Amino acid sequence: MSKDFRFFDSRQKYLLFVTTTNEKNIIAEKISTQIKNIKPKKPALKILDAGLGDGTLLMSVLRSCHREFPTIPFLVFGKEISMEDVRMSVEKLPDRFVEHPNMVFVVSNLYYAEAASLTSNNTDKQKRLNWETFKLYGNSSFEFSQQLSQLDEMLNNNWQVERHHKSGNPIYKLPSVLVIYRHDHEFALDHMIPQHDGPKNDFDLIIASQPYRSRISVQKKIDYVVKPMIQALGPGGKLILVHAFGNDSGMEIIQKIWPDDNPFSSLANDIIACLKDTLHGDLLNKLKFQAPETFRYNLRALPNEIENGIATSLIFSSWNAVTYVGQINNENVMKAERDGRYVQYIQEIIKKYGGLWFNNEMIVIEHQE
């Protein structure tokens, strides 16, 4: 087994987590309360999802944005290295383009520090940038779905990954950008459609949900993710950062199996303190930090899965969620599975609480006007 295996690289486990918990719905509800206070500036409401995943969260956010700003154009950026996640996100777009036709949707595989400018900092790779513009024709979700399904071959070619020579992390083989909009709205949207070598964008709303591994140092979280996202905020913009918090039923299971493990060693207050020590005064003076908020989400389970004896399917989804949230490496997962006691621990905790629940923490950082 490769030592550089990382749990978040397994899409099957990620997708099982997404479909068996209500995490995305709860995060979307939290973000919707922040959207009400955003004041878009011409030419568009600018949104960046700094990690699309399967697109579920972003689509919910776009529905909320349409409710608040039904006639304002949207410029939506999505960052995602996984070709399959991009495909799944694109598959969810037809309804969004029907409800909100004056939208430009842009997805790239670029790093956090590159996503706002759509430009790779690697000059050799930038020379081989894949840039695709895809115009939608018609006015129905059926027509748009049929057309977007034609992107599979392009995604297969452009969204290839390779391993970083030092860290072993997956990185893009070549930088790629895909721009999608409705042809019948091109005239009105022309001035906001991104172009090669265009200016760096700044955003009214940046969503960074679980954007880093919880176990890396605070400084790396700042350098790789948080600081580049702050620098991409426009005046009045909000960065919404969500990460796992622990202190929940899932953590109780982890502590029974790995009593010395602490997956969540640095949280919101550590990040805020580090930002205040790291950022230059001019930028720091423009930032406002809302008080961190902790919120709960649940593993989905049918009542009879718990009341009539805990079903095998519930054990399986619980174990997946616990090890996913705790970012337990594959070697330790397999050792625990060979030992087998994890089943007993899961059963005990589910009976104790009548289900399984987890905590996330949300930080909102505002760029004051």
What pLDDT digit, counting tens, does each position of 191-250 carry? 999 998 888 899 999 999 999 989 999 999 999 999 999 999 999 999 999 999 999 999
Number of domains the chain contains:
1
Predicted pLDDT of residue 12: 83
> What is residue 127's three-state secondary structure?
coil
Q: How far apart are CA 338 and CA 245, in angstroms?
A: 28
Predicted pLDDT of residue 7: 38
Residue 123 lies in a domain: yes
Residue 320 lies in a domain: no
Residue 293 lies in a domain: no
> What is residue 130's three-state secondary structure?
strand
Which residues are CB-contacts of 306 (< 8 A; sequence separation ≥ 6)? Answer: 314, 350, 351, 354, 355
Predicted pLDDT of residue 312: 83
- The parts of the chain modelled with pLDDT lower than 70 are 1-9, 303-309
Predicted pLDDT of residue 5: 40
Residue 21 lies in a domain: no
pTM of the model: 0.93
Residue 335 lies in a domain: no
Q: Identify the DSSP state of 63.
A: H
Residue 100 lies in a domain: yes
Instruction: Find the distance separating the first CA and the last CA of the chain, reported in whole Å.
Output: 51
Predicted pLDDT of residue 6: 45
Q: Which residues constitute the domain of residue 134?
A: 38-209
Q: What angle do CA 90, 127, 175 make, to 5 degrees?
A: 25
Residue 47 lies in a domain: yes
Residue 200 lies in a domain: yes
User: Angle at which helices 342-353 and 312-325 pack, to 10 degrees?
Assistant: 100
Q: How far apart are CA 238 and CA 229, in angstroms?
A: 10
Q: How far apart are CA 35 and CA 18, in angstroms?
A: 23
Q: Identify the DSSP state of 116.
A: T
